[in-house]
Amino acid sequence: MTTSLPDLPVEELEEGGSSGGKGFNFRPYLRILLRKAWLIGGLTCLTTLGAWIWSSQDPYTYTGNFFLLVEPITASGKLTNPTTLARTQGVPNENLFALDYPTNLVFLTSPGMTLKIAQEVQAKERIRKVPAIWKDIRQNLSVTRATVGQGRGTATKIFQVSYTGQDPQEVQTILETAANTFLEYSSEDRETNIKAGVKFIDEQLPELQERLQGLKAKQKQIRQNYELIDPLPKNQQVLAQISSLEQQKFTLDTQLQAQQKLANSLQQQLKLSPDEAFAAATLSQDPTRVALLSQLQQLDSQIAIASATFTDNSPQVQDLQDKRQNIKTLLDQTTQDIITNNGLSISPNSNALEFQDPTRLGLIQQLLETSNQIKSLQAQLEAIEPTKQQLEQQVKRYPNLINEYSDLERQIQLTEQILNKLLLQRETLKVEAAQELPWQLISKPQIPLDGEGSPIGSPPSRRKKLLAGAMAGILLGSAIAFIWEKRQNIFYTAEDISQLLDIPLLGKIPKDDREALSDTFSPSHLPQTEVEVMETGSEDNRHGQIDEEALFLSTNQSSFLEAFDDLYLQLYLQQQGSNLRSLMVCSVESQDGCSTIALNLALNAAQKGQQVLLVDTNFSNPQLHNLLNISNHKGLIDVLQEQVSPQAIIETVRDTDNLSVLPIGESLGSSIKHLWSPKFNSLMEELAKTYDLVIYDTPPFFLSSDMKFIAKQTNGIILVATLQKTSQSLLKKAVKEIKSLNLPLLGAVANSRV
């Protein structure tokens, strides 16, 4: 029979068994500090007192100062400054001159300057060594720009130099030495640096001038070799010529194509080649041949007329034929002479030998003109191409030449700029070197004096030492507190168990307060009603108390019993109620109250209506039969040895419904170390089917490997840790082994009974 609990909000489910967030948890360490606050506070008081005593022995300190005017006060003084005139090229301009205050402030406190002051002080006083004096000067010498009031634009043209020390005579000496050193820097050293700058410039000028001459010589050589002034314009000019030639070539190609098309058309009409057309024109211009061709045409006409009247063999026709043949022979002879004399080359069957009428002669003349035009265009194209190729070869050289020339031009300009700047800077430095306006000491080095003429000192500041003492006490106390608690190796609070082990905290069991509640019982305030109550936790538990006392305890629930209500609730929520069928309650050390917690958890589950079986497997120190005041004559050992059945041994607890117990048995020998066996495994399976909840009270976790086998067959392990008793390291080892073996771990219970 299982009684379900009412549904709870999700917030309660999430809070139950929470082990805290992941990552570093500082709360355990905070609790350590709070627990050991008395120790930390005591040590802090002691170290602070020691720091106060130590600081009371510090001597008085003395502070002195002096002031330097580093620029002219009036505008006229600044504008007449040679430096101003040099830097403004003779045109005074106040805005163009400004002292580099940050650089000068840093330089005056630089290691080199302070070392020089320390050496001169040691030469005067001979009290301390240079390193000691130098260290104090670096730490205590201050150079600042004096200001008037607060805000922007309040800085003056005055340097305030101050020094703090324990010996007033040494403070005065250091201030005087520093004043002299700074004044020397403003005149001699500054002038020396300017002269060094002039010397450096003079050393650089010959090299720059020689370099400039060499660059100009290379530039001149390029101009002479290529006969140009500047290769870039020349390159553009050549590119323009190439573009013009390409345009001319394009135009000539267009005209040539047009003339060739016209020539082809005329040749097709005349059926003459250009050479034949020339021959035809030559033959047509000979008068003798023209006359013979005319006679031949007349004879052909006469022969045609005679043939119409006479036969071909008639004398008239034959006479005409003979004449024609004679004229034809003469014509051929004349034609051959003309061809030979003019060097013409035509075939015997060419149309050029025929009679050319005026129309054909006009076309022949046009063909000849077109052929001549084509030859002219071709001649022009042939003349353009070499020129174009020559220009293209020339333009290919110009990119490298332009780069070389431009590079030389840039180097020449840069060298000239550097040379001009150096020359200008040399003149500027010479003018600045001649200035006669060094820094002025407007306030002598001095220490404030009292009415009697004695130096006024300042008492030592104890704040830093007191803070250091307090901090040392806090750190030392914290370290001792952590070491102390580490050596104690116990848990002080329930939260430590959860946060240090990173496992859920199922419950906090307080000390058993039922006996205290019974002592405060007053029968006169209670009705006469009988209730059944069973208390556990010690061997002298009383049974069958009077009805009035039972009713009082039931209406005034103890915090001890309420803790088990919370524990059962956490288990129920974690395992979703009916999924929790069996669990194992164990600890890592004896006397941790493991049996008491197992018994009271079983009682609480039985009161909720579950059929609960409490199994005692603690062979090292069985306690359940004493707590319940039952017989231990027969028990689990007898069942495993098959001497008796479980049903014959399991006893119901008197005055408690739904709770049964299986004791360990008296036949347990001192030599037994293991309970686990296949028989025990079968018994656990049988008990899990018979009861709603089976709780196993086990010996310490590391006493036997049986605990691992038993835990594997249950729904989970409850680890019991007693506050201010259980070893932290031992419990951490148990949790690590449980996780490594992948055993079901429900969480931990903090016991406060000790």
pLDDT at 21 over 50: no
Same domain, 500 and 353: no
Q: Quote the pLDDT of residue 536.
A: 40
**Cβ distance 262 to 373 under 8 Å?**
no
For residue 517, pLDDT over 60 is answered with: no
Q: Is 448 domain-assigned?
A: no
% of the chain residues with pLDDT over 70? 76
- 550 and 466 co-located in one domain: no
- Of 120-124, 136-140, 186-190, the poorest mean pLDDT is in 186-190
SS3 556: coil
> Is residue 147 in some structural domain?
no
Does 9 have pLDDT greater than 70? no
Mean pLDDT, residues 447-455: 83
Residue 717 lies in a domain: yes
Pick the range with the lowest mean pLDDT from 4-13, 412-421, 696-705.
4-13
| Edge-first strand listing for the sheet containing 505-509 | 505-509, 745-751, 717-722, 582-587, 693-697, 612-616, 659-662, 651-652
Among residues 403, 424, 448, the one where a domain terminates is 403
Provide the pLDDT confidence category of residue 166 given band limits of 50, 70 and 90: confident
387 Cβ contact list (under 8 Å, min separation 6): 245
d(CA 148, CA 145): 10
> Based on the domain organization, do 553 and 479 belong to the same domain?
no
Q: What are phi and psi of 539, to 5 degrees?
A: -70, -20
Confidence of residue 153 (pLDDT cuts 50, 70, 90): low
Residue 289 near residue 334, CB atoms below 8 Å: yes
Asked if residue 743 has pLDDT above 70, the reply is: yes
Q: In angstroms, rounded to a whole number, what is the distance separating the alpha carbons of residues 511 and 751?
A: 8
- 452 secondary structure, DSSP code: T
Q: Which of 487, 505, 536 is the last residue of a domain?
A: 487
Tokens of 91: 């045109």
Q: Is residue 83 assigned to a domain?
A: no
- pLDDT band at residue 660 using 50, 70 and 90 as cut-offs: very high
pLDDT at 85 over 70: no
Residue 341: which pLDDT band, with cuts at 50, 70 and 90? confident
How confident is the model over 537-561, as a mean pLDDT? Answer: 50
The yes-or-no verdict on residue 527 having pLDDT over 60 is no
Mean pLDDT lowest among 58-62, 174-178, 342-346: 342-346
Do 344 and 240 lie in one domain? The reply is: yes
The pLDDT of residue 383: 79
Element (H, E) at 694: strand 693-697
Across the range 502-513, mean pLDDT stands at 84
Q: What is the 3-state secondary structure (H, E, C) of 207-246?
A: HHHHHHHHHHHHHHHHHHHHCCCCHHHHHHHHHHHHHHHH
* Window from 279-288, 496-505, 670-679 with minimum mean pLDDT: 670-679
- This prediction has a pTM of 0.45
Domain check: are 628 and 545 in the same one? no
DSSP-derived 3-state class of residue 492: coil
Using the predicted structure, report yes or no on whether residue 237 has a pLDDT greater than 80: no
pLDDT greater at residue 223 or residue 752: 752
DSSP 8-state class, residue 579: G
Judgement on whether residues 508 and 520 belong to the same structural domain of the protein: no
pLDDT tens-digit profile of 572-594?
887 765 678 899 999 988 888 88
Tell me the pLDDT tens digit for each residue of 357-377: 677 778 777 777 888 888 888
Q: Cα separation of 638 and 322, whole Å?
A: 169
81 pLDDT more than 90: no
Q: Which residue has the higher pLDDT, 2 or 306?
A: 306
Q: Are residues 480 and 567 in the same domain?
A: no
- Does 659 share its domain with 743? yes
Residues 6 or more apart whose CB falls under 8 angstroms from that of 350 comprise 272, 276, 279
Contact indicator for 750, 507 with CB cutoff of 8 Å: yes
Residues 543 and 630 in one domain: no
Query: Tens digit of pLDDT for each residue in 252-262?
Result: 888 888 888 88
Maximum average pLDDT range among 71-80, 390-399, 518-527: 390-399
Which pLDDT belongs to residue 230? 62
Q: Is a pLDDT exceeding 60 seen at residue 136?
A: yes
Distance CA 280, CA 434 (A): 106
In-domain check, residue 273 = yes
Q: Say what the pLDDT of residue 24 is.
A: 62
Q: Check whether 140 has a pLDDT greater than 60.
A: yes
Q: Region 458-476: what's the mean pLDDT?
A: 79
Instruction: Report the mean per-residue pLDDT for the chain.
Output: 76
Residues 546 and 628 in one domain: no
Residues with Cβ within 8 Å of residue 473, at least 6 apart in sequence = 40, 43, 44, 45, 46, 47, 48
**HEC string of 261-291?**
HHHHHHHHHHCCCHHHHHHHHHHHCCHHHHH
Q: What distance lies between CA 637 and its chain's CA centroid?
A: 67
Band of residue 23 on the pLDDT scale cut at 50, 70, 90: low
Question: Within this chain, do residues 369 and 251 fall inside the same structural domain, yes or no?
Answer: yes
DSSP 369-400: HHHHHHHHHHHHHHHHHHHHHHHHHHHHHHHH
Supply the pLDDT for residue 10: 33
Residue 186 domain-assigned (yes or no): no
The answer to whether 270 touches 360, Cβ cutoff 8 Å, is yes
Contacts of residue 724, Cβ cutoff 8 Å, sequence gap at least 6: 490, 491, 492, 754
Tell me the pLDDT band of 717, cut-offs 50, 70 and 90. Answer: very high
Number of Cβ within a 10 Å radius of residue 244: 12
Domain residues for the domain of 43 are 28-57+460-487
pLDDT at 295: 76
Query: Residue 364 corresponds to which tokens in the numbers above?
Result: 């022949």
Q: What would the pLDDT profile of 57-71 be if each residue is shown by its tens digit?
A: 777 788 889 998 887
Total number of domains in the chain: 4
Backbone phi and psi for residue 709, each to the nearest 5 degrees, phi listed first: -70, -40
Give the CATH number for residue 707: 3.40.50.300
Choose between 295 and 646: higher pLDDT: 646
3-state secondary structure 496-544: HHHHHHCCCEEEEECCCCHHHHHHCCCHHHCCCCCCCCCCCCCCCCCCC
Q: Average pLDDT in the 291-298 region? A: 76
Tokens 């068994």: give the residue. Answer: 17
pLDDT of residue 509: 85
Q: Are residues 593 and 716 in the same domain?
A: yes
pLDDT given for residue 632 in this prediction: 84
Q: What is the mean pLDDT of residues 493-509?
A: 83
504 in a domain, yes or no?
yes
Report the pLDDT value the prediction gives residue 333, as an integer from 0 to 100.
75
In a domain? residue 21: no
